[in-house]
């Protein structure tokens, strides 16, 4: 039997190339897993911060026994929900009942794909990044409607309808604000929007060029996240617990997770669209540049970009948590009137002014 060495080499090179493709495919999973781990840690931090800030506002102690300063309290609550019994409504639609929380969580998690945490530190730098976020986030109310309808409970169904009505009411002015920012930046990419604000440092933030849009975006983001004073879909006093009345165990925990994921997404987009993203805005001298350590400059710059983005996002989080424990809850008619009669015309007028100024500057 004669062995052709050329064929053997061809087979070996083919097998190596297939192996390298598999390795590259696995490498792409690493950033996604890292992002998921970071998101989970951020949610735990937000839960702990909300409990500490609310306790300080109400002059009480807050969590202090589960770990140092109570930092493990959120993990303990998550473990409790994970091991609690998962009850299902006997006359409800079990398939829709189980799919609803998953749709809400997945739609919010996909929004993190287009959020830049630093320079070139984004999973998907798309030319339609901000509008992809709006399109994806509009899927979440479908999961809430499915949860309310499948529970076979009039309170749950009423809560689901209110959640969908609220989301639609405030998503339109929010979209107009995002469109105004895209016109100012001449791009819908989140990375391009941040870089467009870096030309003049602190004075180049869209916050100063779009103050009305910033306020409308802030209010709409709170309403989209169902935070007080806009938490009517799950207000305990009048709807028991809204669309999640019949949920227990980990499914209830997923809805609890959705609210904080949505709040974190809104905070990051406020940072990207209005607060300059990862840009420091204040000149600083790097020690690594002085000693010509280029690799350390890249690592230091990436780390600083992440820290600056999260610091700005936590500023918005502090404001939203403080508002929750300061303002009373609105009625449903007041909530819809604010969205349709005030925020919608204001955001539309802001868009028209932005368009006119851009046309004049051409």
- Residues 102, 143 contacting (CB under 8 angstroms): yes
Q: Is the dihedral of CA 224, 307, 106, 256 positive or negative?
A: negative
Is residue 91 classed as helix, strand or coil in its secondary structure?
A: coil
- CA–CA gap between residue 148 and residue 350 (Å, rounded): 36
**301-327: pLDDT as tens digits:** 778 888 889 999 999 899 888 888 888
> What is the predicted pLDDT for the residue at 14?
43
- CA–CA gap between residue 141 and residue 133 (Å, rounded): 14
Q: Which residues of 304-333 are buried (b: 16+ CB within 10 A; e: fewer)?
A: bbeebbbebbbebbeebbebbeeeeebeee
> What is the predicted pLDDT for the residue at 295?
53
Distances (CA, A) of 279 to 107, 119, 322: 28, 9, 26
- CA–CA gap between residue 196 and residue 274 (Å, rounded): 11
> What is the predicted pLDDT for the residue at 288?
44
* DSSP letter assigned to residue 235: -
Is residue 79 classed as helix, strand or coil in its secondary structure?
A: helix
| Residue 284 CB contacts under 8 Å (≥ 6 apart), including other chains | none
* Residue pLDDT tens, the chain, 362 long: 454 555 545 545 545 555 545 555 556 577 777 778 888 888 888 888 888 888 888 888 888 888 788 888 888 888 888 888 888 888 888 888 889 888 989 888 888 888 988 877 888 888 888 888 888 888 888 888 898 889 888 888 888 888 888 888 899 999 999 999 999 988 888 999 998 888 777 888 999 989 999 999 999 998 888 887 888 776 655 556 778 888 888 888 888 888 888 889 999 999 999 998 888 765 544 444 444 555 555 677 778 888 889 999 999 899 888 888 888 888 888 888 998 999 999 999 999 999 998 888 77
> What is the predicted pLDDT for the residue at 273?
92
pTM, rounded to two decimals: 0.84
- CA–CA gap between residue 233 and residue 218 (Å, rounded): 19
Is residue 84 classed as helix, strand or coil in its secondary structure?
A: coil
> What is the predicted pLDDT for the residue at 298?
63
> What is the predicted pLDDT for the residue at 324?
84
Cα 34 from chain centre: 16
Q: What are the φ/ψ torsions at residue 187 (nearest 5 degrees)?
A: -165, 155
Q: What share of the chain is helix, strand, coil (3-state, %, to 5)?
A: 75, 0, 25
**39-71: pLDDT as tens digits:** 888 888 888 888 888 888 888 888 888 878 888
């Amino acid at each position: 039997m004669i062995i052709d060495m050329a064929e053997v080499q061809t087979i070996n090179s083919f097998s190596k190339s297939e192996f390298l493709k598999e390795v590259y495919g696995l490498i792409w999973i690493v950033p996604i897993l890292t992002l998921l781990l970071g998101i989970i840690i951020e949610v735990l931090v937000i839960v702990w911060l909300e409990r500490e800030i609310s306790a300080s506002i109400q002059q009480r102690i807050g969590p202090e026994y589960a770990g140092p300063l109570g930092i493990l309290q959120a993990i303990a609550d998550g473990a409790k929900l994970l091991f609690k019994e998962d009850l299902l409504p006997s006359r409800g639609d079990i398939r829709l009942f189980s799919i609803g929380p998953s749709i809400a969580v997945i739609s919010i998690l996909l929004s993190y794909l287009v959020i830049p945490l630093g320079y070139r530190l984004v999973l998907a730098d798309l030319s339609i990044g901000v509008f992809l976020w709006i399109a994806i986030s509009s899927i979440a109310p479908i999961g809430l409607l499915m949860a309310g309808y499948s529970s076979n409970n009039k309170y749950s169904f009423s809560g689901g309808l209110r959640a969908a009505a609220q989301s639609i009411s405030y998503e339109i002015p929010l979209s107009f604000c995002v469109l105004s920012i895209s016109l100012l930046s001449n791009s819908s990419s989140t990375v391009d929007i941040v870089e467009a604000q870096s030309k003049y440092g602190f004075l180049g933030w869209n916050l100063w060029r779009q103050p009305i849009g910033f306020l409308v975006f802030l209010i709409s983001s709170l309403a989209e996240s169902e935070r007080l004073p806009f938490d009517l879909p799950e207000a305990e006093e009048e709807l028991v617990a809204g669309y999640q009345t019949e949920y227990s165990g980990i499914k209830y925990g997923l809805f609890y997770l959705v609210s904080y994921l949505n709040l974190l997404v809104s905070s990051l987009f406020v940072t990207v669209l209005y607060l300059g993203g990862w840009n420091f805005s204040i000149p600083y001298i790097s020690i690594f540049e002085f000693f010509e350590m280029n690799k350390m400059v890249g690592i230091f710059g990436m780390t600083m970009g992440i820290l600056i983005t999260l610091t700005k996002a936590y500023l918005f989080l502090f404001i939203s948590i403080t508002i929750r424990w300061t303002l009373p809850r609105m009625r449903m008619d007041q909530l819809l009137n604010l969205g349709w009669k005030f925020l919608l015309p204001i955001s539309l007028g802001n868009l028209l002014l932005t368009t006119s100024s851009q046309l004049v500057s051409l």
